[in-house]
Structure 1
Amino acid sequence: MAAAAPRIFVSHLAGVAVFDPSGDQVGRVRDLVAMLRVGRRPPRLLGLVVELSTRRRIFLPMTRVIGIESGQVITTGVLNVRRFEQRPTERLVFGELLDRRVRLVETDEEVTVLDVSVQQLPARREWEIGRVFVRKGRSGTFRRTKGETMTVDWSAVTGFSLEEHGQGAESLLATFEQLRAADLANVLHHLSPKRRGEVAAALDDDRLADVLEELPEDDQIEILGKLKEERAADVLEAMDPDDAADLLAELPENDVERLLMLMRPDEAADVRRLMAYEERTAGGLMTTEPIVLRPDATIADALARVRNPDLSPALAAQVYVCRPPDETPTGKYLGAAHFQRLLRDPPYTLVSSILDDDLQPLAPDAALPVVAGFFATYDMVAAPVVDESGSLLGAVTVDDLLDHMLPEDWRETEFHLHEDEPHVEHLDEPQDGRPGDRDDDLDDDRGDDEEGDEESDQENGQEDGREGVDEGGRDGV
C-alpha cells in the first residue's frame, strides 16, 4: 500500500515562492482556491492564487503543481497569466475560511478556525482540505493563546457554507504579518468588501495607517467609512499628514470637519495647512514632518534623527537646518545636509558648516511638472518647500511625486508585463494575430458546474475538471 501523502497546513504556504522546473521564481502564493462540496465531503483544492513580480494575480491549477516542499512550490513552468477572478462557487482559503466560527458536529460547540491542512489524494492529481485546526470559544483580539485548540477532520465541523457576519481576522493577519504595508494592502484590495472591513478593523492604528496609504482611493474611503469616527480620527493621526490630507479631500465637507475636530489639534493643524494648497503643487505634495535641526546641532545629532525607523528612506536622506522654531513652519531656512555628507565628516562637526545652500528650494505653488523637473535635474529623492518669507514649510519626497505622476488607477492595476519575462506563457495575448488563439491550450481545472452535476461526474469516473469551458473565454481542454 502506498504511503499517505503528507498534510500541509496552509499557514505555511502564505507568501511561499513559486518556481518553474528551471529554478526561476515566477511569483508568490497569496491564497488558495477551494470548492465546498455537498454533505460532509472535504472541499476540493482547485489551485493557488499566485502573485507575479508584476503584481498581477493569476490562478495556478493544482494540476500544474509538481511539488510543495522545503518552503517552495514547483510548477510545470507554463502559466496562464490571465488575471484571477473568483467564481461564485469558489472560496478563498485565507480570505474566507480562516477565522470563521463553525460548530463541532458531535457537541454543537462553537469553535474558531485557525488553520486548515491540504493533502494530495493517493494515485490521483487531486488535492483536498482534510483537517481543520480550531480553537474553542469565540474569537477576539489578543486572544490567540486562550482556549483549547485541536485538529479535527473536516467532517467533524459544520457551518462553512453559512454566511457569517462579524468574522474575525486574527489568523489571516498572523498569516500575513511579515508582509510589507504595500503587499498587505494588495491582499486587502482583493478581498470582498465585507472581509476587507473585518481585517481593517483588526489591524492596530499604525499598521492600518500604513496600509491605507498604499490602497486605492476607493478602498481608503470605504474602509474609513466603516470605522467609528473616533477610530477613524486616530488612524488619520497615524498617517503621514500629506496622505491624510489627500484622503480627507475626497470626503464630504461635513465629514471632514467632524474628523478634524476629533484629531489632536497639532495633527489637525498640519492637515488643514496641507489641504489649503492645490493638490498638484509642491505644497499639496509635501509632508510637514521632515527632519529639522537648529544651526548648533552636530552631525551626531543629525545621524541620531536619521536612524528613526519610522522615517521613510526618502525623508531620512537629508536633514534641513533652520533657525528656531524647529518644527514646520520654521524660522529662516538655512540649507540642507545630505546623508552621504553626514557620513564623511566627524560626528562633532556642526551641521550648519556642511550645508548645501546653493540649491534653490521649491515654492509651495510650484506645479507638478516643475517639481518633477527639479528632481530629475538635480537627482533628488527629497526637496525642501520654502515660502516667500524664507520659512521651511515641509519637504516633497520622490514617492509622493511618483504617486501623483502615475495614472490615478495605478494601485489597482499590475505593473506592465515584460515581453521577455521567462517561463511564463501569455495565453491571453493575441497569437498569430488572432485574439485568444491559445485559449484551449490549458485547463484551469476549476469546476463551475452545480454540485449535483459534479457528484454525478465523479460517480461516472469522470475528471472533476471542466471540458470545453466557454464561460467568459475560460481555458478548456
Structure 2
Amino acid sequence: MASVRVFVARMAGLAVYGPDGERIGKVRDVVVSLRVDSHPPRVLGLVVDLSARRSIFVPMLRVADIAPTAVTLASGSVNLRSFDQRPNETLVLGQLLNSPATVREGGTEGSVVDVAVEPTRTRDWVITKVALRFRRTRLARRPRVEVYGWEAVSGLDVAAAQGADRLLAVFDSMRPADVAAALSRLPDDRQRHVVDALDDERLADVFEELSESDQRELLGYLDDDRAADVLEAMSPDDAADLLGELDDDEAGRLLELMEPDESEPVRRLLRYEWDTAGGLMTPEPITLGPDVTVAEALARVRNPEVPPALASMVFVVRPPTATPTGRYLGCVHAQQLLRAAPFELVAGMVDADLPQLGPEAGLGEVTRYFASYNLVAGPVVDAEDHLLGAVTVDDVLDHLLPQGWRDRDLAPGEVHGGSVPVANGAADRTRDGQVHGA
C-alpha cells in the first residue's frame, strides 16, 4: 500500500483502476460494519461509481493499493450488480460523518468529520482513528478538530449509530449471548423497541443470557400474558431461575398463566434450592428406552435444538421416558454411539457404573463430581431410581461465577459466550456476478 493509514473523506472521488490500468470508476463511499462494543469496526469494502452511472460493491480483499490520487484493484472477480446496502452495514461518508460522538475521558461532545482506516496483520481493514470537530468557544475563533483512537470515543457503536430497524437486523445474525450483552447497554426506550420486535422464541433465548437484574426489569415491562409465553419458550431450568428471583405472588401468577405442560417441570424445579443438583438440573435431557437403536439415538443427539452439553450423553431408562422416568438403567456417551454400528441397541452399551447425583446434592458436591469424572453432563436420580433430569457444566459455571458476572463490561480481547460481540453478519462478503480484471 502506498499509504498505511487512509482518511476516508480524502478517498471520495478517487479514480478506481483495474489491474490492467483501465479506469473503472470512482470511489463514492466506504462500507463498514459497526460493532456492539468499543472495538474498531471492520471495513467491508468500497462503493464504486461506474462510468455507466451505476454503483457496485468492491470487497477490501480486492483492493491492491490506495494512493493519494487513485485506488487500484487486484486481480479477481468483482460483482457488477448495483450496490444494495445491507442492514448490518454503515456508509462512512453517507451516514457516519457528522454523527455526534463523545470523548470517553472528559465527556466532551463533538461531531465526526473524518475517520481513518488501516490494514491489520490479517489483511482486514478497520477504523482506527476518529476526527472530531468541537464547537467554537470564546477563546477559539474556529472550530477545533482533534483526532482520537476509536476506543477513546463513544456513541458510534451499532446501537447508537443505526436505526432501530437496522439494529434488529444486526441482532438477527448474532448469538443470543451477544444480543443480551448488547441489549443491556442500550437506552431503555431502544431496549423496549427490541423486546417488542423480537418473537417469543428469540426473546426467550436472549432472556436466558441476561443478568438477573436485566431479566427482572424487562420481564416487568412485558404484560403478563407475553411474560408467560416467554417463560414457556425458555428452558425449564432457566425459567425456574428467573421465577425464583420474583416474589411468590408474581411467580405464582405467571405460573398459572403458563400452559400446564410447560409449567409442571418448572414447578418441580422450584421445589429444590437453587444451589442443589435438583435446582441446577434441566428436566429435559435425552432419554431413551433400552430397545432404541444407535441410529435413533444419534438422530436425537443431532437435533440442533439440543444444547451441546446435553448432546454429549443420552440416558437409558425404563418407561416412561419423560422425567421423572421409570427405573434409571445408565448412560451412553455420544462418542460411544459414534463408534457403534447403527443397528446395535443402546441397552448393550449402557454405562451403569457411573455414579449419579441426588437432587439434594449441593453445589460443591456437584462441582467435585464433574471434576472427578471429566463430564459435561451428569444424571440426577432420586432414591427410587427415577431419572429427574441432568446437570450440565454450563449450569454449574453459571452458579460458580460471582453474582452479577453478566453485568460486567468486557475488557478488550475478553470473550463473552465464546466470542467477542461483533455485529457483522457479512464478515467475508462476496457477491455473484461478472468478473472484471480477472
Distance 1:373 1:272 in 2: 27
Q: Indicate whether 1:43 and 2:94 are aligned.
A: no
1:398-417 mapped onto 2 (5 Å cutoff): 398-414=393-409
1:245–1:275 Cα contact (<8 Å) kept: yes
Q: Which runs of 5+ in 1 are unaligned?
A: 21-29, 35-41, 50-60, 100-168, 420-477
Paired amino acid for 1:361: Q
1:17-96 mapped onto 2 (5 Å cutoff): 43-44=98-99, 46=101, 65-67=116-118, 72-75=125-128, 91=155, 94-96=158-160
Give the direction of change, closer, same or farther, for the CA distance of 1:344–1:288 in structure 2 (3 Å limit): same
Q: Indicate whether 1:174 and 2:169 are aligned.
A: yes
Distance 2:214 2:297 in 1: 37
Q: 2:355 aligns with which of 345, 348, 360?
A: 360
Distance 1:209 1:257 in 2: 19
2:278–2:380 Cα contact (<8 Å) kept: yes
Paired amino acid for 1:173: L
1:263-412 mapped onto 2 (5 Å cutoff): 263-412=258-407
1:431-470 mapped onto 2 (5 Å cutoff): none
1:102-181 mapped onto 2 (5 Å cutoff): 169-181=164-176
What do the CA deviations read for 1:91-145 (whole angstroms, capped 9, x no partner)?
A: 556425644xxxxxxxxxxxxxxxxxxxxxxxxxxxxxxxxxxxxxxxxxxxxxx
Distance 1:75 1:17 in 2: 6
Aligned-pair CA distance for 1:258: 1.3
Aligned-pair CA distance for 1:17: 6.8
What do the CA deviations read for 1:67-113 (whole angstroms, capped 9, x no partner)?
A: 4899741537x96878x8x6xxxx556425644xxxxxxxxxxxxxx
Please, what TM-score do these two structures have when normalized by structure 2?
0.65
Aligned-pair CA distance for 1:213: 0.7
2:204–2:230 Cα contact (<8 Å) kept: yes
Paired amino acid for 1:66: V
Aligned-pair CA distance for 1:6: 3.5
Aligned-pair CA distance for 1:418: 8.3
Counterpart residue number, 1:105: none
Counterpart residue number, 2:255: 260
Distance 1:320 1:249 in 2: 28
1:283–1:364 Cα contact (<8 Å) kept: yes
Aligned-pair CA distance for 1:377: 0.8
Aligned-pair CA distance for 1:415: 5.4
Aligned-pair CA distance for 1:322: 0.4
Runs of 4+ in 1 over 2 A off after TM superposition: 1-10, 12-20, 42-49, 61-72, 78-82, 91-99, 414-419
Distance 1:48 1:95 in 2: 17
Q: Which runs of 5+ in 2 are unaligned?
A: 1-9, 14-26, 44-87, 105-111, 130-147, 415-438
Aligned length: 315
1:335–1:357 Cα contact (<8 Å) kept: yes
Paired amino acid for 1:75: T
Distance 2:197 2:113 in 1: 32
Please, what TM-score do these two structures have when normalized by structure 1?
0.60
Give the direction of change, closer, same or farther, for the CA distance of 1:68–1:258 in structure 2 (3 Å limit): farther
Paired amino acid for 1:273: R
Counterpart residue number, 1:449: none
Counterpart residue number, 1:106: none
Give the direction of change, closer, same or farther, for the CA distance of 1:358–1:18 in structure 2 (3 Å limit): same
Distance 1:43 1:289 in 2: 52
Query: Secondary structure of the residue that 1:395 maps to in structure 2?
Result: strand
1:293–1:321 Cα contact (<8 Å) kept: yes
Distance 2:400 2:113 in 1: 40
Query: Secondary structure of the residue that 2:292 maps to in structure 1?
Result: coil
1:236-247 mapped onto 2 (5 Å cutoff): 236-247=231-242
Distance 1:234 1:325 in 2: 27
Give the direction of change, closer, same or farther, for the CA distance of 1:280–1:93 in structure 2 (3 Å limit): closer
What do the CA deviations read for 1:183-240 (whole angstroms, capped 9, x no partner)?
A: 1111101101221121111111111111111111111111111112111111101111
1:31–1:93 Cα contact (<8 Å) kept: no
Distance 1:248 1:313 in 2: 25
Taking only aligned residues, the RMSD between alpha carbons, in angstroms, comes to: 3.4
Structure ranking higher on relative contact order (CA contacts 8 Å, 6+ apart): 2
